[in-house]
Amino acid sequence: MKTLTMRVDDSVYQMIKTAAEGQKRNISNFIEFATLQYLTSVQYVDNSEMTEILNDKELVQNLREGLKNLKAGNYTIV
Protein backbone atom coordinates (compact mmCIF):
# COMPACT_ATOMS: atom_id res chain seq x y z
CA MET A 1 0.00 0.00 0.00
CA LYS A 2 1.28 3.47 -0.91
CA THR A 3 0.68 6.85 0.70
CA LEU A 4 -0.34 9.66 -1.62
CA THR A 5 -0.21 13.35 -0.75
CA MET A 6 -2.15 15.81 -2.88
CA ARG A 7 -3.20 19.43 -2.84
CA VAL A 8 -6.70 20.47 -3.82
CA ASP A 9 -8.60 23.72 -3.78
CA ASP A 10 -10.80 24.23 -0.70
CA SER A 11 -13.96 24.00 -2.79
CA VAL A 12 -12.83 20.67 -4.29
CA TYR A 13 -12.01 19.37 -0.83
CA GLN A 14 -15.51 20.27 0.36
CA MET A 15 -17.06 18.42 -2.59
CA ILE A 16 -14.95 15.34 -1.88
CA LYS A 17 -15.74 15.50 1.83
CA THR A 18 -19.48 15.84 1.20
CA ALA A 19 -19.48 12.97 -1.29
CA ALA A 20 -17.50 10.76 1.10
CA GLU A 21 -19.89 11.49 3.95
CA GLY A 22 -22.83 10.74 1.67
CA GLN A 23 -21.41 7.28 1.02
CA LYS A 24 -20.35 6.74 4.63
CA ARG A 25 -16.70 6.52 3.58
CA ASN A 26 -13.63 8.29 4.85
CA ILE A 27 -12.05 10.73 2.42
CA SER A 28 -9.14 8.47 1.56
CA ASN A 29 -11.43 5.54 0.79
CA PHE A 30 -13.76 7.73 -1.26
CA ILE A 31 -10.90 9.06 -3.41
CA GLU A 32 -9.70 5.50 -4.05
CA PHE A 33 -13.25 4.37 -4.86
CA ALA A 34 -13.94 7.34 -7.16
CA THR A 35 -10.63 6.90 -8.97
CA LEU A 36 -11.29 3.20 -9.60
CA GLN A 37 -14.81 3.99 -10.80
CA TYR A 38 -13.43 6.56 -13.24
CA LEU A 39 -10.64 4.36 -14.54
CA THR A 40 -12.83 1.34 -15.12
CA SER A 41 -15.69 3.24 -16.72
CA VAL A 42 -13.82 5.70 -18.90
CA GLN A 43 -10.71 3.87 -20.05
CA TYR A 44 -12.40 0.77 -21.44
CA VAL A 45 -15.05 0.16 -24.07
CA ASP A 46 -18.15 -1.95 -23.49
CA ASN A 47 -18.94 -5.01 -25.61
CA SER A 48 -21.24 -3.22 -28.06
CA GLU A 49 -18.66 -0.50 -28.68
CA MET A 50 -15.92 -3.11 -29.17
CA THR A 51 -18.12 -4.97 -31.67
CA GLU A 52 -18.61 -1.72 -33.59
CA ILE A 53 -14.86 -1.09 -33.61
CA LEU A 54 -14.02 -4.62 -34.77
CA ASN A 55 -16.61 -4.45 -37.56
CA ASP A 56 -14.94 -1.34 -39.00
CA LYS A 57 -12.42 -3.07 -41.29
CA GLU A 58 -10.63 0.15 -42.28
CA LEU A 59 -10.16 1.16 -38.64
CA VAL A 60 -8.88 -2.29 -37.69
CA GLN A 61 -6.39 -2.20 -40.58
CA ASN A 62 -5.19 1.26 -39.54
CA LEU A 63 -4.77 0.12 -35.94
CA ARG A 64 -2.77 -2.92 -37.06
CA GLU A 65 -0.57 -0.74 -39.25
CA GLY A 66 -0.02 1.68 -36.37
CA LEU A 67 0.93 -1.15 -34.02
CA LYS A 68 3.33 -2.51 -36.62
CA ASN A 69 4.95 0.94 -36.94
CA LEU A 70 5.16 1.28 -33.17
CA LYS A 71 6.88 -2.10 -32.83
CA ALA A 72 9.29 -1.10 -35.58
CA GLY A 73 10.31 1.90 -33.49
CA ASN A 74 8.80 4.49 -35.82
CA TYR A 75 6.79 6.11 -33.03
CA THR A 76 7.02 6.66 -29.28
CA ILE A 77 3.99 6.64 -27.01
CA VAL A 78 4.12 9.45 -24.47
Confidence of residue 43 (pLDDT cuts 50, 70, 90): low
What is the helix (H) or strand (E) element at residue 68, kind and residue range? helix 57-71
Instruction: Give the residue among 11, 10, 9, 36 at the shortest CA–CA distance from 28.
Output: 36
pTM comes to 0.53
Q: Is the pLDDT of residue 11 over 90?
A: yes
CA distance 51 to 74: 29
Note the pLDDT of residue 46. Answer: 81
- Domain chopping of the chain, boundaries: 9-44, 54-78
